Structure 1
Amino acid sequence: MLDLSFNMFEGIIPLPQYSGEMLDYSSNCFSSMPPNISTQLEDTSYFKASSNKLSGNIPPYFCSTELTILDLSYNNLSGSIPSCLMEDNNALQVLNLKENQLSGQLPHNINESCKFEALDLSDNQIEGQLPRSLASCKYLEALDIGHNQISDSFPCWMTALPGLEVLVLKSNKLFGQVSPSIDYEKSTCEFPRLRILDLASNNLSGTLTEGWFIRLKSMMVEVVNETSVMEYNSYQNQVYQVNTVLRYKGYAVSFTKILITLVFIDVSNNAIHGSIPGAIGELVLLQVLNMSHNSFTGPIPSQFVYLHQLESLDISSNGILGEIPQEISSLDFLTTLNLSNNMLEGRIPESPHFSTFDNSSFMGNTGLCGPSLSKQCSNETPPSSALHNSKEKSADVMLFLFVGLGLGVGFAVAIVVIWVLPLRKKS
């Protein structure tokens, strides 16, 4: 083993004379790799050179190695991904090329003996479609191709990946409908192991169907797992942990360890319309739900009351109608709420927990009222002091009326006594 990580080494990456099972050069200032690297990696299974200053194309000689984990993320590598790295290499389990300057299309003839378990190609400039041959990677658990230029429909064909748990396709050019609209197609778009789904900032449209959500079984029933995070073992049980960046509670958060318990759905910034499916309420393990900046209409589903693990709910900037269900105020884990810029109306639910949300959670809903907006509802019972003042004012008005009436009657009697009676006597 050779670990030189987290230093300030520069120049060419130094390789040990007789190879090494595990080589870690991450977080340095290395600028290049030696030309004879393939002959010196014969026995290497773990090679990590992330967060350096490596530039140029990815050397194709990585293809002729027996590497199981290759991490070249956070560098300045350019050009296209060598096709042999994904199509011919039968040993790679983890390939991380995140945040480089890679371009071109993904290799489309991935080997049927593919052993990929985690694939991270996010934050590059990759174009074209997702390779359908990825369906050959039966062991794939995490796929992150976010922040690229992928132009394709939602990959229902990935249901062929039985162990897929993390699917991040945000900030691409995906189009079309997410869930099938025809009943017989629904069974072809199942993701029973999926726990993290990020489709934010694409061009997705159509509606979301009830039946599609009830097939997300891992978001309903807790899966018993020996480890608490997604990780992969290499030489002498050296652990490589998968990481990703998700929008969590309004902020872009880097999860250096993906917890097995994290359950996350983000379909924000698309063109999805129709009502929000009540079946989402069956995803009882859901922690983060972001459906903001779409064209959803209809009410907030009352079934949300069953989302007892929910920590963050954002359905802002839609066309949501009706009242806020009173039941939502009982979600005790909810710490981030954004219902702004909709067409909601009525009284904001009152509870000690709900009162912690400020004006920004509800603004842009002209029909809403309640303490959180400092706008009193018109049909609310006025406080006791106001009632007391109102009674006093009523009493004063009545007293004034009686006094006025008494003065009027007295004046009329006086006129009769002084003028009318003497005149009648004379006549």
Structure 2
Amino acid sequence: MDLSDSSPCFVSLLLLFLCLVHARSSANGETCHESDLEALEGFSSCLKTPIDGWGGGGGSQTSDCCSWTGVTCDNSTSGSRRVVALDLGGRNLGGEICDAVTALESLRFLNLSLNSLSTRAPWKLFQMHNLEVLDLGYNFIGGHLPCPINLPSIRSLNISFNNFFGPIAMSLTTLCSNSFNLRALNLAKNYFYGDIRADFGKCTSLEQLSLRQNLLSGDLPGSLFQLLNLGELQLQMNSFSGELSEEINLGYNDFTSELPSSFKSLQSLRGLSLSGTSLTNLSSALQTLQHCKNLESLFLSMSFRDEEILVNASFQFYSLKGFAASNSRLKGSLPSWLSCSCQNLQVLDLSGNRLSGRIPDWISEFPSLYYLDLSNNSFTGEVPERLTELRGLRDLPSVSTPFFVMRQRAKSLRMKALREIVPPTLDLSNNWLRGPIWPAFGNLTELKVLRLKNNKFSGYIPESLSGLRNLDTLDLSCNSLSGRVPESFDRLGFMLSFNVSHNKLYGKIPEEGLFPIYPYSSFEGNNGLCGLYLEPCGLTSTLQELFQGMKNLRLPFEVSAVSGFLITTGICFLFGWMFKKAVQMRTVAGRRTHIRQE
């Protein structure tokens, strides 16, 4: 659930209710209240961009503001109707929010997000007693938050991705003291600084909180983690510091020590990132976190460095769908408790560690796993053939799990569905794996990224991989693969990234499909390949391919020797015959020339 869309159920129901009210009242023919008409006309005059469907002023098409775009009025039948909702999000409005809008005394819903509004927000905007939803996100509004904030009816407040600045402590304290119904608060990506006071614990109804990407510092108050209704908490990219005693940490701060056992009381928590911290004692942290029964996403990347991951522990993460502990230099092997208690797992990222041993067969038993990254470890042996049976890479599961990612539009951490941000992937690159690439990998038809580079794989490239019609990345470089690049690969119309460099491949590179756009570096380091950017295919390359093919047949020495002798003799005879024929033709041509001259 995305915090920028705070309290989606409540907001949707409120909008539906207000729209029904608007439709009923329009049918009854009442017009809007005179003071509300003046307020909307005053608000419109502060904008640089006219709003389609709005009247008012000298060029008014209608004086009934209840029929204007984005305006919803109540269902009063005893007189003029009052404006209760103003929804102008995403209309590319410029200018400023002037005081006129605060004269809408009955306003309950105000959405001005995703516009280009600037300067300061009116002080009175944060004193409107009937306002339940206020969304100013994604604008250029600046200035301090007023103190006190007096919004007694507010349930959802979003001022994220703006230019607000100043100390946050007093504003939050008064907001919580005066707004007992506040469920969603999003102040992300502004310039607030200072610490969070213990009084913040008065926001007892809070379900979603984002303070990420500000300049906040100091210790986190323990009261913050006693909010029993809090299901989503984002504090990333600030400067919080200190030791964790009875507190929690969320990514990229400077906390040290261990995760406190009191964290197990957050029964509503669904998504948690502890990435990029200096936390220690991974086993203790997992022991604590398993009590968060609703935890679906857990990210520990770049934390708990150089520790050993317990293999045979009895952790219970029955709701877990996304687990990442990458780039932490963890030691050990793949923990078997994953197979016992994480049957709902859809994303598993253990890349960039020091894990060793064989990849176990049970890795194929996750019914919904569609993203597996074990790259940059020290796994050995053959890849279990059962890995080609991953059901999540044959039929993608439906997912709706919190997931922390970089969002391109705002370059900020957001919560999104798993499948929107991590494509179906199998990445085993940079290990010590050997043996063949199983032809049954071609059955993983939903696969988009397959990386097996920098291992010791041998044998042919399976023709069956051409059946991966959704594949957009295939990297088999730096192995010991032999044979030809399958001609059928030219049917992979979405494969924008392809690399088979530094193998033992031979023969002509396919010239159809997307092959002409692949760079030289995709094929270099294969002495037997020819065509495209490499040397033209000729007799030498044909002979090399022939000898290589015989070599791969692994015939007995006597048969190979006899075959080699016969082929060599035949080639010598062919060259001799061609040379003799050329001499004869030159002799005949010379005689004809001599006769003509006579």
Between 1:395-404 and 1:153-162, the stretch displaced more is: 395-404
Opposite residue 256 of structure 2, the aligned amino acid is G
Q: Secondary structure at the match of 2:481?
A: strand
Distance of aligned partners of 1:307 and 1:188 in 2 relative to their CA distance in 1, 3 Å threshold: closer
Between 1:36-45 and 1:361-370, the stretch displaced more is: 36-45
Is 1:92 the equivalent of 2:269?
yes
Tell me which residue corresponds to 1:167: 348
CA distance in structure 2 between the aligned counterparts of 1:255 and 1:39, rounded to whole angstroms? 24
Which blocks of at least 5 consecutive residues in structure 2 are unaligned?
1-155, 239-252, 408-412, 543-581
Tell me which residue corresponds to 1:220: 394
Tell me which residue corresponds to 1:236: none
Is 1:17 the equivalent of 2:176?
yes
Which blocks of at least 5 consecutive residues in structure 1 are unaligned?
181-185, 232-240, 247-253, 382-392, 411-427
Structure 1 residue 311, shift from structure 2 partner:
0.8
Tell me which residue corresponds to 2:127: none
The answer to whether the 8 A contact 1:10-1:28 is kept is no
CA distance in structure 1 between the aligned counterparts of 2:262 and 2:456, rounded to whole angstroms? 41
Is 1:298 the equivalent of 2:459?
yes
Tell me which residue corresponds to 2:233: 70
Distance of aligned partners of 1:34 and 1:58 in 2 relative to their CA distance in 1, 3 Å threshold: closer
Mapping of 1:242-257 within 5 angstroms? 242-244=403-405, 257=416
Distance of aligned partners of 1:59 and 1:102 in 2 relative to their CA distance in 1, 3 Å threshold: farther
Tell me which residue corresponds to 2:298: 119
The answer to whether the 8 A contact 2:492-2:513 is kept is no
Between 1:282-291 and 1:298-307, the stretch displaced more is: 298-307
Q: Secondary structure at the match of 2:332?
A: coil
Structure 1 residue 380, shift from structure 2 partner:
8.4
CA distance in structure 1 between the aligned counterparts of 2:366 and 2:498, rounded to whole angstroms? 27
Tell me which residue corresponds to 1:36: 198
Tell me which residue corresponds to 2:509: 348
Q: How high is the TM-score relative to the length of structure 2?
A: 0.55
Q: Secondary structure at the match of 1:174?
A: strand
CA offsets per residue over residues 155-201 of structure 1, 9 Å max, x none? 343123122111122222222222x2xxxxx3476222111112222
Distance of aligned partners of 1:105 and 1:294 in 2 relative to their CA distance in 1, 3 Å threshold: same
Between 1:280-289 and 1:148-157, the stretch displaced more is: 148-157
Structure 1 residue 130, shift from structure 2 partner:
4.1
Between 1:311-320 and 1:31-40, the stretch displaced more is: 31-40
CA distance in structure 2 between the aligned counterparts of 1:83 and 1:255, rounded to whole angstroms? 26
CA offsets per residue over residues 281-320 of structure 1, 9 Å max, x none? 1101101111112222222122212211111101111221
CA offsets per residue over residues 358-415 of structure 1, 9 Å max, x none? 322111111101124243333689xxxxxxxxxxx889624345459989xx9xxxxx
CA distance in structure 2 between the aligned counterparts of 1:371 and 1:58, rounded to whole angstroms? 60
CA distance in structure 2 between the aligned counterparts of 1:367 and 1:147, rounded to whole angstroms? 37
Is 1:102 the equivalent of 2:283?
no
The answer to whether the 8 A contact 1:104-1:127 is kept is no
Distance of aligned partners of 1:396 and 1:330 in 2 relative to their CA distance in 1, 3 Å threshold: same
CA distance in structure 1 between the aligned counterparts of 2:379 and 2:292, rounded to whole angstroms? 32
Q: Secondary structure at the match of 1:328?
A: helix
Distance of aligned partners of 1:198 and 1:313 in 2 relative to their CA distance in 1, 3 Å threshold: same
Structure 1 residue 257, shift from structure 2 partner:
4.3
The answer to whether the 8 A contact 1:151-1:172 is kept is yes
Opposite residue 295 of structure 1, the aligned amino acid is K
Is 1:150 the equivalent of 2:330?
yes
Q: Secondary structure at the match of 2:494?
A: coil
Give the alignment partner of residue 4 of structure 1, picking from 122, 144, 159: 159
Is 1:48 the equivalent of 2:210?
yes
Structure 1 residue 61, shift from structure 2 partner:
4.1
Is 1:210 the equivalent of 2:385?
yes
The answer to whether the 8 A contact 1:57-1:80 is kept is no
Q: Secondary structure at the match of 2:435?
A: strand
Is 1:82 the equivalent of 2:259?
yes
Distance of aligned partners of 1:336 and 1:54 in 2 relative to their CA distance in 1, 3 Å threshold: same
Tell me which residue corresponds to 2:370: 195
* Identity percentage of aligned residues: 28
Distance of aligned partners of 1:176 and 1:343 in 2 relative to their CA distance in 1, 3 Å threshold: same
Distance of aligned partners of 1:332 and 1:242 in 2 relative to their CA distance in 1, 3 Å threshold: same
The answer to whether the 8 A contact 2:265-2:292 is kept is no
Tell me which residue corresponds to 2:50: none
Opposite residue 356 of structure 1, the aligned amino acid is I
Tell me which residue corresponds to 1:390: none
Please identify which structure carries the higher helix content. 2
Q: Secondary structure at the match of 2:488?
A: helix
Distance of aligned partners of 1:83 and 1:190 in 2 relative to their CA distance in 1, 3 Å threshold: farther
CA distance in structure 1 between the aligned counterparts of 2:262 and 2:539, rounded to whole angstroms? 67
Structure 1 residue 244, shift from structure 2 partner:
3.9
Pairs aligned (count): 370
CA distance in structure 1 between the aligned counterparts of 2:313 and 2:197, rounded to whole angstroms? 31
The answer to whether the 8 A contact 1:57-1:77 is kept is no
Between 1:275-284 and 1:352-361, the stretch displaced more is: 352-361
Structure 1 residue 116, shift from structure 2 partner:
0.2
The answer to whether the 8 A contact 1:109-1:133 is kept is no
Structure 1 residue 202, shift from structure 2 partner:
2.1
Tell me which residue corresponds to 2:357: 176
Tell me which residue corresponds to 1:365: 526
Distance of aligned partners of 1:34 and 1:256 in 2 relative to their CA distance in 1, 3 Å threshold: closer
Mapping of 1:265-414 within 5 angstroms? 265-378=426-539, 397-402=586-591
The answer to whether the 8 A contact 1:22-1:44 is kept is yes
Q: How high is the TM-score relative to the length of structure 1?
A: 0.76
Distance of aligned partners of 1:207 and 1:28 in 2 relative to their CA distance in 1, 3 Å threshold: farther
Between 1:125-134 and 1:151-160, the stretch displaced more is: 125-134
Distance of aligned partners of 1:244 and 1:397 in 2 relative to their CA distance in 1, 3 Å threshold: farther
The answer to whether the 8 A contact 2:259-2:279 is kept is no
The answer to whether the 8 A contact 1:150-1:172 is kept is yes
CA offsets per residue over residues 12-57 of structure 1, 9 Å max, x none? 4542233532122222334443241563242222122222344566
Opposite residue 3 of structure 1, the aligned amino acid is N
CA distance in structure 2 between the aligned counterparts of 1:380 and 1:298, rounded to whole angstroms? 20
Is 1:26 the equivalent of 2:184?
no
Higher relative contact order (CA 8 A, sep 6+): 1
CA distance in structure 1 between the aligned counterparts of 2:350 and 2:403, rounded to whole angstroms? 16
